[in-house]
Amino acid sequence: MHSVATQKLTLDRNSALGYQLLEDLPSFIFGVVPSVEGLLVRTTQSQLRALAFLLRNYSQFQLKVLVDLAVVDRLKTVSRFSVNYLLVSVLTNQRLTLQVFTAETATIPSLAVPYAKGQRLFAASGWLEREV
């Protein structure tokens, strides 16, 4: 378990990174929530693939690993589902959850299919998306 001082430093660092992301990519992000565990970044369905591409190649983060994909059913809301992509940087040991809200009948763009110049964003997402 980390000390309170270490947790405070981690939270301060994640807050600074979150604000930097909001400054650098304002058209892709509509919310950032820093925590001791990492950052929660909220985006729209239309910006999901572009933001995932930028975060994967962004020198500050280099979030090259998609660890998990989880969906939360938020009953009685217009955007009923929250789709959460957990990304990790092996280089910086940074964790980031990329979150998209969606309705029950909407389709979310895949992160497994080729994107820019034929690059696959996260090959592992094919299996994870299939399960959702």
pLDDT in tens, 23-70: 988 999 999 999 888 899 999 999 999 999 999 988 788 899 999 999
Sheet holding 65-73, edge to edge: 31-34, 39-43, 95-102, 81-88, 65-73
Kindly state the average pLDDT of the residues 115-124: 77
Kindly state the average pLDDT of the residues 87-95: 91
Q: Which domain holds residue 84?
A: 4-131
pLDDT at 63: 92
Average pLDDT, the chain: 87
> Any residues with CB less than 8 A from the CB of 105 and at least 6 apart, and which?
none
Task: State the Cα–Cα distance between residues 26 and 41, nearest whole angstrom.
Answer: 12
CATH (domain of 8): 3.30.460.80
Q: pLDDT-derived band of residue 82, with 50, 70 and 90 as boundaries?
A: very high
Higher pLDDT, 57 or 99: 99
Q: How many percent of the chain have pLDDT more than 70?
A: 94
Which residue carries 């589902």 as its tokens?
81
pTM of the model: 0.87
pLDDT at 110: 87
Question: Are 21 and 39 contacting, i.e. CB atoms less than 8 angstroms apart?
Answer: yes
> Structurally, how many domains does the chain consist of?
1
* pLDDT tops 60 at residue 1: no
Phi and psi, residue 30, nearest 5°: -115, 5
Q: How many percent of the chain have pLDDT more than 90?
A: 43
Kindly state the average pLDDT of the residues 102-114: 87
Task: State the Cα–Cα distance between residues 15 and 64, nearest whole angstrom.
Answer: 21
Question: Structure tokens of 34?
Answer: 């820093």
